[in-house]
Copies of this chain bind each other. A is one copy, B any other.
């Protein structure tokens, strides 16, 4: 896990680097036999928080940018914030290479 590279790619340097490390641990990794002993926490609590942050950022952007009815804005948001789009952005940022995930899960995600 190259946290310097990740921070460079996302253009943000963490005050508490442990947050970034935890954010890159998929739940499945903690059951791997050869896992790093210092990794004990997965990213699901951070994901719960991050989803709401992302939702507000995108919502505010669309609200300010488009003077359109709620239904239109909701459709736009669904087109932007979803598994596929976020997956692509993650790949562009090289997060797919840095995330700690079990071998089985990685194959499944790769096919998805």
Could you tell me which A residues sit within 8 Å of B by CB distance? 44-45, 47-49, 51-53, 55-56, 59-60, 63, 69-70, 73-74
Contacts and interface: CB of A to CB of B under 8 A. Distances in A.
A70 B56 contact: no
| Interface of chain A, main secondary structure | helix
Copies in the complex: 2
A73 B50 CA distance: 13
The 4 closest A-B pairs by CB, nearest first: A52-B59, A44-B70, A52-B56, A48-B70
Given A49-B63, A63-B49, A69 B56 contact: no
Nearest to A67: B45
Contacts of A59: 48-49, 51-52
A45 B60 contact: no
A98 to B, nearest CB: 21
25 contacts: A44-B69, A44-B70, A45-B63, A45-B69, A45-B70, A45-B73, A47-B70, A48-B59, A48-B63, A48-B70, A48-B73, A48-B74, A49-B59, A49-B60, A49-B63, A51-B59, A52-B52, A52-B55, A52-B56, A52-B59, A52-B60, A53-B56, A55-B55, A55-B56, A56-B56
